[in-house]
Chain A
């Protein structure tokens, strides 16, 4: 059974039209991450939560926002998508702290901007 679930798998949005991607987890992990991955590139961290503590990467555009209403869910909001925001968006979780901090990823959401 999938432990990190991303919806939708494919999202097409219009230039400038707000879009929300969702991620849920059944692992009860403290840490949730959002990565952006463009073709043939390494995943690039956008932000992560340690419990409710939000950590924004310095170079994450203001256009990108995130919400984590509870342990299980995390959302990525793109307020005004541009053509350059077309990418695969990956959600991941890990337990955080000490011990086994193995990260688990969802299947990703492929965002197309038209």
Chain B
């Protein structure tokens, strides 16, 4: 059974810092991995999708990497801003017809 772990559970950084959020998964035979952002009381916003054949994806200040063999992904946020404060969730898909399996998320606070 696929299990997804995110470390740390919470992170507080000053504005302007670069930071890395970690995600690990137990079954490396994944189809893709997706990073989401969730603001308090809101739904999930998709940030980046990495297919199993890809090593990384970039969108603006965000860069997500994938190392399938070691069961790890990282989300790199450059030059953090207070508006980046949210919970970041990692989820994996084992096949095109199976549901996403989520980690518990990392709650990020960026202090002005």
Q: Which residue of B lies closest to A53 (CB)?
A: B97
How many of B's residues come within 8 Å of A, CB to CB? 25
Give B49's nearest chain A residue, CB to CB. Answer: A102
Q: Which of B56-73 contact A (CB under 8 A)?
A: none
Q: Does A103 lie within 8 Å of B97, measured CB to CB? A: no
Question: Contacts A40-B104, A42-B105, A43-B102 hold; do A105 and B36 have CB atoms under 8 A apart?
Answer: yes
Q: Which A residues from 55 to 114 make CB contacts under 8 A with B?
A: 55, 88, 90, 92, 96-108, 110
Q: For chains A and B in complex, what number of residue pairs have CB atoms within 8 angstroms? A: 61
CA distance A41 to B87 in the complex (A): 11
A111 vs chain B, min Cβ distance (A) = 12
Q: Of all chain B residues, which has the CB nearest A45? A: B99
Is A24 part of the binding interface, using a Cβ–Cβ cutoff of 8 Å? no
- Find out whether the CB atom of A107 lies under 8 angstroms from the CB atom of B100: no
Bound complex: CA of A101 vs CA of B107, how far in Å?
A: 26
Closest-CB distance, B44 to chain A (whole angstroms): 4
In the bound complex, residues from chain B placing their C-beta under 8 Å from that of A92 are 44, 100
Are A42 and B89 closer than 8 Å at their CB atoms? Answer: yes
Query: Shortest CB–CB separation between residue B56 and chain A, in angstroms?
Result: 16
Chain A interface residues toward B at CB < 8 A: 4, 6, 31, 33, 40-43, 45, 48, 50, 55, 88, 90, 92, 96-108, 110
**22 examples of A-B residue contacts, CB within 8 angstroms:** A31-B97, A40-B104, A40-B107, A42-B4, A42-B89, A42-B102, A42-B104, A43-B44, A45-B99, A90-B43, A92-B100, A96-B97, A97-B97, A100-B49, A101-B96, A102-B46, A102-B49, A103-B93, A105-B43, A105-B44, A107-B42, A110-B41
